[in-house]
Structure 1
């Protein structure tokens, strides 16, 4: 797979000769919004347009599956490494006439789907495990789901399970009453789903821990996809690590459907000021002491890696919570962070549901160079890249991995004075 000129068998040397970053960046469309919009578009009986659709790998994959593979009745649907697509399609294919095998990469076959499959089976879905119990690949026979219209699901594991069920809810013969048990992980993502459904005419009621959606038809209405706040978080990190910064991010707005927009508030504590403009936001650096030592990522887990690296680079001890969902992502992101931060003498230790980042033995020096393993995880590559500001340079494996959510990431770094040089990869552990 190729993104720009980067391939899977290269690494990238990222360096920065000073601590000044200035420039204007157009972020890709939100992958989270784009993937939801594509499923809703497929469920709507009349066509509508999606504007500013993400060009991320996951979105391109899902679009092809919905618009080509399913329409031509391909029996094997391969999502590759796209976790959101796996979860959304598990529900979507359950109500789509046909017989399907839903599969993905080796890592995808290690990511659990049992909670979602159990919930769909209660509704009447015909799903079998084609491999290990509780994991893809899945054999799905799409049909009307008429067994019941009320189910319960653990809300603390993955908001994507809940969003997958909610999006098919209006198409079910009696709608859906969904009871969420326990806490609700990543609640903003569920709110995003419901808000986008509302743009297409779908009404819901969320009272206490119960979300109710009656049988209704999606109404066509062109959707505009916001730029990606998760992608913005890496720019916040760069500004936090810079001595001097003035970055404009085009198209972002204060009132966002994306939970990761909380990055603006969190990063205030690290000296990053956000000015909301008519056509985007402006980030500038204020030199003031860091004013936070505890951050809860329950509702914004995708920016935890960014903040962990930011804390390390600034030699700031901090405690994180809300990281449990990171263990079932593209990789075990907690373990990946522990491994890579340890290369700089930073420890990340677990105490029940808290994780303590300890920088007392840190060894970040402007004349040293580290090699960062990415574990096939786009966020590992992008979270560590800003370290070049404080470390001078670092080598990051598999630069193409950023295509999963932010294909132009390395090109955008060069626009603000980073040097990004492709290298041939050596085998490293």
Structure 2
């Protein structure tokens, strides 16, 4: 079944082919986009400057840094149009940040950004007293925001199952609110590690909190200056785990990743043991090695790590391994509907993903991966989504060659991705 999704051919596609199935090399991943974007907002809320070391070079972070430094914090008239482009994290974090920043702001983005819902966050901020209007379609950007002190109440509830970024956006401004914030999370809390990351980074800047059951309490208090170091991106590591799993042999060092990481996607190190990939934690990073070709897992829950779901789906397809996934609901409101995008692109290889309630069953019984002698490259649409491009690239170890749409889309989180692939023998042709 083909699902309707918007695709644009930029005539900038690349074809990639693996010159070896033994993947060896040392890779320096970009700084975590998730940590970097939080650090930028916290620094903007802090009364004293501090240094952010190893700040991500991802497009989203560059955009947020630029907007804060050149249009928001330095604005002499406190009236500006703030265009985040395709940066979803920036849209959500700035919605809350601008609500407490004096001025008149029009917060907007790309056409796709204007299709991504933000009503839950706006409703929560309005309940606190924020002056926000929808400038276009109800429930979606662009937003007209008049920043001010939020004094209406200090206790609100928000559905925790939709987006952890909404919650993080509220938590980061909480210490600056006149009465602090009591935040009650309803429903099943999704992507909990990202909320924990936010609170841990706030703690590094002196912000205390309590979290009892589903209630987080943050009193009014000041951020204190303290230099922050941004760990390399565990989400970016997932594509190297995929290469290891799909290779014949692998010995890959990823510099800088830590054993005790704030990033929820670090769970991939344990998860990939089920795919025959061993992780050794070193003093200065991790080493991945392929130790088995046997897959020992048939059910994966992505509720707390949705950003690696596409990668794992492609790994399963590449290994012709049937698997059931859950925790994918948040993928439908990302850069694209990632579930539908996976269904479309894996369908080109005869692999299906069928929904059954909250479960999604990946079926490889009709797969052509590793069985086709067709010399023509398989074309992969990316739907303006960096993770679609990077999740599918390792599949070139199992098919003769791939043609991938709009390779520059990886700049959103991993600008030098294609250069790093080239270092280990996966070349553009």
Give TM-score scaled by structure 2 length. Answer: 0.96
CA shift, 1:8, in A, is 5.0
- Aligned with 1:67 (options 49, 66, 69): 69
Deviations 1:139-166 (A, max 9, x none): 0000000000000000000000000000
Corresponding residue for residue 336 of structure 1: 341
Corresponding residue for residue 425 of structure 1: none
CA shift, 1:18, in A, is 2.5
1:163 lines up with 2:168 in the alignment: yes
Q: In the alignment, is the contact (CA less than 8 A) between 2:17 and 2:427 conserved in 1?
A: yes
Corresponding residue for residue 382 of structure 1: 390
Corresponding residue for residue 3 of structure 1: none
Q: In the alignment, is the contact (CA less than 8 A) between 1:39 and 1:92 conserved in 2?
A: yes
Q: Residue 250 of structure 2 aligns to a residue in which SS?
A: strand
Corresponding residue for residue 110 of structure 1: 115
Corresponding residue for residue 392 of structure 1: 400
1:26 lines up with 2:28 in the alignment: yes
CA shift, 1:216, in A, is 0.3
- Aligned with 2:411 (options 403, 419, 423): 403
Aligned residue-pair number: 415
Deviations 1:10-55 (A, max 9, x none): 0111100321100000000000000000000000000000000000
Q: In the alignment, is the contact (CA less than 8 A) between 1:249 and 1:282 conserved in 2?
A: yes
Q: Residue 13 of structure 2 aligns to a residue in which SS?
A: strand
Q: In the alignment, is the contact (CA less than 8 A) between 1:81 and 1:105 conserved in 2?
A: yes
Q: Residue 275 of structure 2 aligns to a residue in which SS?
A: coil
CA distance in 2, matches of 1:420, 1:169: 47
CA distance in 2, matches of 1:198, 1:253: 19
Corresponding residue for residue 303 of structure 1: 308
- Aligned with 1:232 (options 206, 228, 237): 237
CA shift, 1:74, in A, is 5.1
Q: Residue 35 of structure 2 aligns to a residue in which SS?
A: helix
Give TM-score scaled by structure 1 length. Answer: 0.96
Moved more, 244-253 or 7-16: 7-16
CA shift, 1:420, in A, is 1.7
- Aligned with 1:200 (options 165, 183, 205): 205
CA distance in 1, matches of 2:315, 2:337: 19
Task: Structure 1: state its 5+ residue gaps.
Answer: 1-6, 422-429
CA distance in 2, matches of 1:287, 1:141: 57
CA distance in 2, matches of 1:65, 1:275: 39
CA distance in 2, matches of 1:99, 1:274: 50
1:349 lines up with 2:354 in the alignment: yes
Task: Structure 2: state its 5+ residue gaps.
Answer: 1-8
Show the 5 A alignment for 1:21-420. 21-70=23-72, 71-72=74-75, 73=78, 75-365=80-370, 367-368=373-374, 369-420=377-428
CA shift, 1:281, in A, is 0.2
- CA root-mean-square deviation: 1.0
Structure 1 stretches of at least 4 aligned residues deviating more than 3 Å after TM superposition: 365-368
Deviations 1:48-85 (A, max 9, x none): 00000000000000000111111224510000000000
CA shift, 1:178, in A, is 0.1
Q: In the alignment, is the contact (CA less than 8 A) between 1:17 and 1:392 conserved in 2?
A: no
